[in-house]
Amino acid sequence: MSSKKKKKQRWFVPAGLAPTEMDILIMEWEAKGKLVPTRNLIKTKEQIEGIRKAGVLNTSVLDTVAEKIREGMSTTEIDRIVYDYTTSHGGIPAPLNFEGYPNSCCTSINDVVCHGIPCEDDILEEGDIINVDCTTILGGYYADASRMFIIGKTTPERQRLVDVAWECLKIGEQVCSKPYVFVGDLGNAIARHAHKNGYTVVRDLCGHGVGIAFHEEPDVEHYGKKGSGMLLVPGMTFTIEPMINAGDWSVCGDEDDETEWIVLTEDGEDSAQWEHTYLMTENGVEVITN
């Protein structure tokens, strides 16, 4: 005789407390078989304030990069700017030594999708597009964002790719203009916009929860079906960071990268990405890394 194992409940009301409206909504969705957060993903007021402060510093780091990035500089120089600014303002660059990553930020040029490693030999040239990805720890709290930069004047094709990648980020943000949406809702909207413009969305990498740790639940995929993925509720902090490819969505590693961090487009076409950290509120998302 066999019995079906009961699925462990993710959301529950602590003993002695009356369920709130949010509790009831979440439990109703869970009863319908949807993936809901656990209580530890809901940040306290103190934690949210700490994450906001980390976001302010992270934004200032990228603003400083924007002021100084130029043709002829190496990506090592960018990394030095990130490290010096972050540490001089009381922060820690989260990527540095994270699971063996050797630098303070990621610098991904042209066909590098993400996790490009700063290097003295990588010199920025006229027309390059580059993503600079920074995560800052301040007071034990994390904020994560990346920006695309165009070096000098680029081609219309690269400019359009960068622009559509930005639009994809904003579309994901718009879907989150109210709480109690699903990760699949924003992923579906992002993918539809990318495909409409002739681009593809990388599937092997995704956004993620962030704030108390570098990477938390949920996985924020940038494609998928409406109603799939985790329910996004007030108090959750997470990134949206669609990676948009000019060609096929498939990616591969760099055979010369002994650290196995660098991710390239498999077909050699360009890729672009923008990223913000968000807080879901009762009124929709707040951009933490504005």
pLDDT in tens, 207-223: 999 999 999 999 999 99
* Count of residues in the chain: 290
Residue 27's SS3 state is helix
Q: Is the dihedral of CA 244, 160, 175, 143 positive or negative?
A: positive
**Domain 34-287 maps to which CATH number in 3.40.50.720, 3.90.230.10, 3.30.450.20, 3.40.50.300?**
3.90.230.10
Which tokens hold the place of 168? 């994809």
Buried b vs exposed e over 30-49: b needs ≥16 C-beta within 10 Å? beeeebbbeeebbbeeebbe
Q: Is the dihedral of CA 237, 276, 104, 273 positive or negative?
A: positive
Give the position of tokens 């303070």: 104
Using a cut of 0.85, tell me whether the model's pTM lies above it. Answer: yes
Is the pLDDT at 278 greater than 80? The verdict is yes
As a whole number of angstroms, the distance between CA 110 and CA 116 comes to 10
Is the pLDDT at 1 greater than 70? The verdict is no
Lateral strand order in the sheet of 263-265: 112-114, 263-265, 251-253
Residue 219's SS3 state is strand
Give the position of tokens 């599937």: 203
As a whole number of angstroms, the distance between CA 141 and CA 51 comes to 5
pLDDT for position 259:
85
Per-domain residue ranges of the chain: 34-287
pLDDT in tens, 147-156: 999 999 999 9
Alpha helices, H only, the chain:
21-31, 45-68, 75-88, 156-175, 183-196
Q: How confident is the model at residue 229 (pLDDT cuts 50, 70, 90)?
A: very high
Residue 168's SS3 state is helix
As a whole number of angstroms, the distance between CA 113 and CA 130 comes to 10
pLDDT for position 257:
83
- Using alpha carbons, select from 226, 223, 227, 214 the residue that is nearest to residue 244: 223
Which tokens hold the place of 62? 């990228």
Is the pLDDT at 2 greater than 70? The verdict is no
Cα→Cα distances 271→83, 263, 266, 285, Å? 25, 11, 11, 26
Q: How confident is the model at residue 4 (pLDDT cuts 50, 70, 90)?
A: very low
Which tokens hold the place of 16? 């002695």
At position 46, the amino acid (one-letter code) is E
Q: Classify residue 23 by burial, with Cβ atoms within 10 Å: 0-12, 13-18, 19+.
A: middle
